[in-house]
Chain A
Amino acid sequence: MHEFLAQLANGVELGAIYALIALGYTLVYGILELINFAHGDVYTFGSFTALVVLVALRAAHVLHGVGLILGIVAALLVAILACALLNAGIERLAYRRLRKAPRLAPLITAIGVSFMLENLIELWQGSAPVPFPNVIPNPELRFGALQVGVQQIVVVALAIVTMIALHYFVQRSRLGKAMRAVAQDRDAASLVGINVDRTIAITFLIAGALAGVAGFVGGVSFGSAWFLNGFGAGLRAFTAAVLGGIGNIAGAMLGGFLIGLLESFSTWFIGGQWSNVAVFSVLILVLVFRPSGLLGESLPEKV
């Protein structure tokens, strides 16, 4: 029972991180039908920027009391900003030129960008995992048989708040409505006066910002950052987005939590070395048997 609850908490925590990353895939796919393969590496970049900020602040001895809270907020904000700009920059420099290219071209480009980012991060921070500054106090709390760390609660809470904010933004705000219109029909959207280029750029900014939150949260949660983290986490998150129904925001959240739980429980039952196999098998099975995902609707092929 203890072990079960611990794995459950673990899975939810992992799931929150995957859900945040998955939202980035789903937003971009929804609007461009592009699998932004570099998204996972933007997440890695977020982890490292937060890490660098925290390390610098710790070296300056300001991380105590109010300074600690301000420092954490600063690290989070810097990660968000850096990732948003990076993601939008990638769109501007690489993907924008390929909107009318044959379908494989943007995906191949995205893979290329991913490889470049991974290598650049490796050159920057080395090829070994870097420990994440352990500055956030993490006392254990007990709820009956359930034992969770404060960090876990912060991680999940931060993720959920972000997701709710995103949901309302997309449903209610002017920009959110523009995003949905462009996703539905780019030409029609531009006919009614929506600036398509700007809307797509903003989508990438938001997706990047989400990856920044995820990068911070993931760094805290895993206790380290590694240049290849984004590859595995990105694929899991993409699986989550597909499982939930790609292009669907609620689906990405649901998928994220399901994949987090799957990973945590498959690790428990059959061993961590099989969790990759489990996750990718889910990906293949979902795509083969229900490509529209759990919450997606299937659309008839256009003729």
Chain B
Amino acid sequence: MIYAYAFVAIAACVAIERFHNRRAKIAIALALAAFLAIAPRFYGNEAVFSILADAAVYVMLALGLNIVVGFAGLLDLGYAAFFAIGAYTYGMLASPQFGLHLPFWVLLFLAAALAALFGALLGAPTLRLHGDYLAIVTLGFGEIVPQIFQNLTKYTGGPNGIAALDIPSFFGHSFGASVMPYYYIALLGIVAALWISRNLRESRLGRAWMAIREDELAAKHAGINVLRSKLAAFAIGASFSGIGGVLFAAKLALVSPDLFGFQVSVLIVSMLVLGGMGNIVGVVVGSLLLTIVNSALLPQINSLVDTTFHTTIDLSNIHFLIYGAILVGIMLFRPEGLLPNRERRDEFHHNGEAEAEA
């Protein structure tokens, strides 16, 4: 069942990518959206849509990171920190922790703003750094943030985190135990994220990012404020993650510091790399593929192997191996990702020649 949904979504994405006609693209996108919105009435159970809702949150995260890595060319290895900030915003302000029970819908926006603020705070001093150094600094930040949440036990519940978070409601109708509201909200979130991503890519700011990614010195000479443009990328990317964090925390009704480690940051980078950095549709495909493998395929293969051979192998243990193999394999054999954008493909395949000419 879950594969049917994933297959339809991915096939539609590939079709959108392959068609050149703008009308056809829009038609396919609308059909896909309608299908995903109506399908729950006919098929599927809560478990399937729980996975799909998680997948949708990851798609949002990946689209956010894509703005930073794919558009502006800044490798952020601590992106999960903003996810944590979003989740803890909900965890601390909508739970018995402080007796504050702010509404979910308000916190969605507050978390986006807070994550953006922290993105800017991290970025302001560090964005002068180049390439690998920036990556390592963001990694350091990504390690510090969950550690701080873990250590400030009085406010954050320490290593155990905060449980029994409020169940959101919509005009007085509580979400209850159903995952469907999260599924629909996450779908809406993806639509918004896609729209914003496309707007940004085509905008003056998007062209500035492209210039910075390609040649920072040339960008400066065109009068582009490099630092401010990078900050914008960091802040906007982080805000997507903040919203994702609220959705994630509310659905799980729990936050704890171990949910936001380096592995999560690398998982999202893997989604980008798999799908093709910079390409909006490719990123969606990459994140869908990886989430489905993680949450559906691996457990199923696991139980199949166990029942067939009467073993108790734990295949969930090979997540890291899979992310690692994806990163290495894609970089070595198809650096532009499964669905590259035109620009990146050329960049990866012609760089050697260009250097030789220069």
Contacts and interface: CB of A to CB of B under 8 A. Distances in A.
Interface range on chain A: under 10, 10 to 19, 20 to 34, or 35 or more? 35 or more
A276 B147 contact: yes
B140 A283 contact: yes
B129 A119 contact: no
B134 to A, nearest CB: 8
Interface in A107-121: 107-109, 111-120
Contact of B135 (A102, A107, A117): A107
Interface stretch (B86-94, B199-207, B328-336): B328-336
Interface residues of B, number: 48
A120 B137 contact: no
Interface stretch (B14-22, B171-179, B347-355): B347-355
B328 A288 contact: no
Contact of B75 (A34, A107, A284): A107
Interface string B310-323: 00000001111101
A113 B144 contact: no
A103 interface: yes
Contacts of A111: 77, 266, 269, 324, 327
Given A113-B328, A119-B324, A287-B136, A277 B147 contact: yes
B141 A284 contact: yes
A303 B128 CA distance: 17
Given A105-B335, A108-B331, A280-B140, A288 B125 contact: yes
Contacts of A274: 147, 151
Nearest to A302: B217
B144 A109 contact: no
A280 B355 CA distance: 35
A114 B269 CA distance: 14
Does more than half of chain B's interface fall in helix, strand or loop, or is it mixed?
Answer: helix
B148 interface: yes
Given A101-B335, A127-B317, A281-B144, A113 B139 contact: no
B143 A114 contact: no
A104 interface: yes
A280 B332 contact: no
Nearest to A227: B320
B150 A115 contact: no
Given A109-B332, A231-B262, A115 B351 contact: no
Contact of A112 (B148, B319, B328): B328
Given A35-B136, A109-B332, A280 B144 contact: yes
B324 A276 contact: no
B9 interface: no
Given A108-B269, A108-B273, A94 B332 contact: yes
Nearest to B332: A97
Interface in A87-144: 94, 97-98, 100-109, 111-120, 122-123, 127
A187 to B, nearest CB: 11
Interface of A: 33-35, 94, 97-98, 100-109, 111-120, 122-123, 127, 231, 235, 238-239, 242, 273-274, 276-277, 280-281, 283-284, 287-288, 291, 303
**What are the 6 A-B residue pairs with the smallest beta carbon separation, nearest first?**
A112-B327, A115-B324, A116-B324, A280-B140, A119-B320, A112-B328
13 contacts: A34-B132, A102-B347, A105-B331, A107-B75, A109-B328, A109-B331, A116-B328, A122-B320, A123-B317, A235-B143, A242-B136, A283-B140, A291-B129
Given A117-B324, A122-B317, A239-B140, 18 more contacts: A34-B132, A35-B135, A104-B69, A105-B335, A109-B332, A111-B269, A112-B327, A112-B329, A116-B321, A116-B328, A119-B319, A119-B324, A238-B136, A277-B148, A284-B125, A284-B137, A287-B129, A287-B137
